[in-house]
Every structure is written in C-alpha cells, then in structure tokens.
Structure 1
Amino acid sequence: MALYQWILTVIWLAGIPVGVFAFVHAALQRADAFTAVDKLNKLAWVGITGAAALLLIVSYQGPYGIIWIAGLVAALVYIVDVRPRLKEIQRRSW
C-alpha cells in the first residue's frame, strides 16, 4: 500500500467520529438557536450531518472512493462554522 493510501485511510478513519460528533451535536441543540444565528434550520443541519456521518460510516470503498470526502467536508463545515455560533448565542442571557 502506498503512502498516500495510508494517509487517506487515517483521515477516513479519523473522520468517522467527527461526523458522528457533528450529527449528535446538531441533534441536541435548540431549534431556535439555528435561526437566531442566521443558519439553516435544525432539521436541515441534522439531515446534513446525519448524511455526512452515514457517508463516512458506510463508505464501502473505504478511503479509496471519493464520496466520503463530501461527508467529511459537511461535518467540518458544521463544526467550524455553525457550532461556534450556536455556542455563542446560547451563552447569552436574554
């Protein structure tokens, strides 16, 4: 197995818990927080992160197909962009 295949395998395996975390986090948040931070609604993000986690878990081609990359990118967008804004809005005292 070539070096790049090992690297892709490690990234793929590390991406599985990232996708699951993004899905669980999105599912546990308040629905009004998503609209308060001008993002898609909760149902959309739960669907996106759920599909991302599913793509990462059931990627039958393993790290050699490219479809799992879309799932990893979707999960990372949620974690890097949406999650911090949700945390910020939910800490405020109304």
Structure 2
Amino acid sequence: MAKPMTKTELVAALATEMDADKKTATAALDAITGIITKAVADGGAVTLPGVGKIYCRERPERMVRNPATGEQFKKEADKQVKVTIAKALKDSVNG
C-alpha cells in the first residue's frame, strides 16, 4: 500500500494542476475544506464529482459493551461523518 499523500504534497500537486503558486493552492484547499466542514456540520451533504459524497448521519442511543470488562452501558445518540465513494472512482481504481 502506498503512503497517504500529505497536505504539502497535495498543495504542490494542486499548484501544478492549477498552474499557480503554492500560496494560492493552499488558500484554495483551505477554502474547500472549510466549506465542506461547515456544510456537513450543519447537517448537509457535499458531493465531489468523480470522488464521492460526504454527509453526516445521526446514530440513535444504543447499548454498547466494553470489550475489556464486558460491562454494558448506554451510549448517547451522536453523529457520524460518512463518505460514499463515487462509482467513477471505484471503476478507475479497479481498472
């Protein structure tokens, strides 16, 4: 498995693709990240064409078990961020 791309590497690749400097690419990446974070935190969803859909799902209150002690306890309702990968990306990875 290849190493994950770091933010620095992503900014450099984005700057090359945009034909811009790294400062502009960093600002663009930070803006996109901020928009996605705000939209998902507000309960919405964001679709990145060719990549997938990022959304927030609410989980109900439920009983869970501590694996170390076997003790069961009630876990409060919470939210979970989910990502559904686009078919185009799956197809490109699988050949």
TM-score (norm 2): 0.31
Q: Normalized per residue, which structure has more helix? A: 1
Which of the two has greater strand per residue?
A: 2
The TM-score normalised by the length of structure 1 is: 0.32
Report 1 or 2 for greater relative contact order, CA contacts < 8 Å, sequence distance ≥ 6.
1
Who wins on radius of gyration, i.e. which is larger? 2
